[in-house]
């Protein structure tokens, strides 16, 4: 087996009607080969960095006899595979990538070249989306049902809201950043117990300040989901970003707490599992923006489409998390962050599967100092400067890694 150790992530659910067993995982001649005893539906592969691993998801397959040679992780421990997919994880002693993936003509085996690469090359390759492979059509098992995918109903408001204006250089090749001022219209968001200032006004002022600074940089184009005091359901907010094919979506908010001492900014990215109880509570509160008089304006729209939240979102979520860390780093000079500033929770507004998205809680409106800072022109400039710097570095990195 050389430098590789095979781990199998087994599924603990009953076998589907059609499934090939993975009979063997073999190494030799710089190749890795998976053998099946029956047809499988397809395969996909991607890299996981730190520790370096290669993951192979075999759709419509059971771990089978290969089970004997491997170690098992309980389902989900590796972040992962759905009920009809078996994940084979190659733990790498040295960085390597797969290439030339091909199924045999009868669909019963799958072979890759295993190429040693430098650590830097591996890291770059790990940022790429997964590679999908399919057996020859006549030797392909029926695609498995994705029983473990989470289907989120997405209301498609009718008529679709008009797309906002794009500001900045008239160069369509420049990245487009969509800034979303949280709340608006009959949804005021949180309200300061000291000054009565409303979150919806603060977020709009911040969004404008961020837009102005980004435009001044000359490096990106910018659009605001709202540039006045209007109500948008959460799906319309990220829907605008998706329809405009935005490269980055930043939803701007201000937090609130019963504890008036609580202060500092935090940045949230999407996860089905919240990083802590407070993050889960905040997501519940922010998601309530859709519910007016008990009617959920997002989910109950007559024309309902859906977005599958599954592993295809992994890449987007990684880019979002990278940007969240960068934003904290770049904005820390001018504003205060909480100690564990990057958190995760299930925010509806972050659920565009293909647009890297963060929710920026710029501070606590319930805290006197934070509220004054966020309502002041000086504070807004500092927030905007942090966002601008992070955005510039973010896109410079993206270009460098292409």
Residues that bind Zn ion (CB under 5 A): 182, 189, 253, 286
- How far, in Å, CA of 25 to CA of 22, rounded? 8
Which residue's CB atom is positioned nearest to Zn ion?
Answer: 253
- Sign of the Cα pseudo-torsion (274, 276, 280, 285, in order): negative
Rg of the chain over Cα atoms, rounded to whole angstroms, equals 24
Are residues 108 and 102 in contact, defined by beta-carbon separation less than 8 angstroms? Answer: no
- When the beta carbons of 46 and 337 are compared against Zn ion, the nearer one is 337
Helix (H) or strand (E) holding 58: strand 53-59
Least distance from C-beta 379 to Zn ion, angstroms? 17
* Long-range Cβ contact pairs of 312-315 (< 8 A, separation 24 or more): 312/129, 312/130, 312/353, 313/270, 313/353, 314/46, 314/130, 315/127, 315/128, 315/129
- When the beta carbons of 131 and 191 are compared against Zn ion, the nearer one is 191
- How far, in Å, CA of 41 to CA of 154, rounded? 29
- When the beta carbons of 56 and 233 are compared against Zn ion, the nearer one is 233
- How far, in Å, CA of 275 to CA of 261, rounded? 22
Least distance from C-beta 195 to Zn ion, angstroms? 17
Least distance from C-beta 254 to Zn ion, angstroms? 7
- When the beta carbons of 176 and 234 are compared against Zn ion, the nearer one is 234
Least distance from C-beta 266 to Zn ion, angstroms? 12
* Residue 220 per-residue DSSP state: -
- How far, in Å, CA of 263 to CA of 308, rounded? 35
Strands 265-270 and 337-345: parallel
Least distance from C-beta 252 to Zn ion, angstroms? 9
Least distance from C-beta 205 to Zn ion, angstroms? 14
- When the beta carbons of 70 and 189 are compared against Zn ion, the nearer one is 189
- When the beta carbons of 35 and 253 are compared against Zn ion, the nearer one is 253
- When the beta carbons of 8 and 210 are compared against Zn ion, the nearer one is 210
Least distance from C-beta 349 to Zn ion, angstroms? 9
CB atoms within 10 A of CB 228: 9
- When the beta carbons of 172 and 258 are compared against Zn ion, the nearer one is 258
Tokens standing for residue 337: 């962050």
* Residue 396 per-residue DSSP state: H
Least distance from C-beta 110 to Zn ion, angstroms? 47
């Amino acid at each position: 087996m050389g430098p590789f150790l095979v781990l199998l992530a087994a599924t603990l659910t009953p076998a589907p009607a059609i499934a090939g067993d993975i009979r063997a995982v073999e190494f030799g001649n710089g190749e890795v080969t998976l053998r099946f005893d029956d047809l499988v539906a397809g395969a996909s592969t991607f890299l996981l960095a730190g520790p370096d691993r290669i993951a192979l998801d075999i759709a419509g397959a059971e771990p089978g006899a290969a089970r004997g040679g491997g170690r098992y992780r309980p389902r989900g421990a590796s972040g992962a595979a759905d009920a009809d997919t078996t994940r084979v994880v190659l733990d790498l002693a040295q960085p390597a990538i797969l290439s030339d993936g091909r199924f045999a003509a009868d669909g019963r085996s799958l072979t890759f070249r295993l190429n040693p690469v430098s650590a830097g090359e591996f890291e770059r390759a790990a940022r790429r989306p997964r590679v999908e492979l399919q057996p020859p059509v006549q030797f392909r098992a029926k695609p498995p049902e994705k029983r473990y995918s989470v289907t989120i109903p997405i209301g498609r408001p009718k008529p679709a809201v008009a797309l906002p204006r794009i500001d900045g250089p008239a160069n369509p090749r420049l990245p487009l950043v969509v800034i979303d001022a949280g709340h608006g219209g009959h949804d005021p968001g949180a309200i300061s117990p000291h000054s009565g200032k409303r979150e919806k006004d603060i977020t709009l002022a911040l969004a404008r300040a961020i837009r102005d600074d980004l435009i001044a940089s000359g490096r990106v184009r910018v659009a605001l989901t709202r540039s006045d005091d209007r109500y948008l359901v959460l799906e319309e907010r990220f829907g605008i970003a998706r329809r405009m094919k935005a490269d980055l979506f930043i939803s701007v908010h201000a937090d609130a707490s019963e504890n008036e001492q609580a202060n500092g900014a935090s940045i949230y990215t999407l996860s089905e599992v919240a990083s802590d109880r407070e993050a889960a509570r905040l997501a519940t509160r922010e998601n309530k923006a859709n519910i007016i008089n008990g009617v959920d304006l997002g989910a109950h729209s007559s024309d309902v489409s859906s977005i599958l939240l599954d592993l295809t979102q992994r890449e987007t979520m990684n880019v979002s998390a990278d940007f969240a860390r960068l934003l904290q780093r770049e904005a820390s000079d001018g504003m205060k962050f909480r100690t564990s500033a990057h958190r995760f929770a299930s925010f509806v507004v972050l659920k565009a599967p293909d647009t890297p998205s963060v929710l920026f809680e710029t501070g606590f409106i319930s805290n006197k100092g934070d509220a004054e800072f966020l309502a002041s022109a000086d504070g807004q400039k500092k927030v905007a400067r942090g966002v601008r710097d992070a955005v510039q570095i973010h896109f410079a990195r993206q270009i460098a890694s292409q």
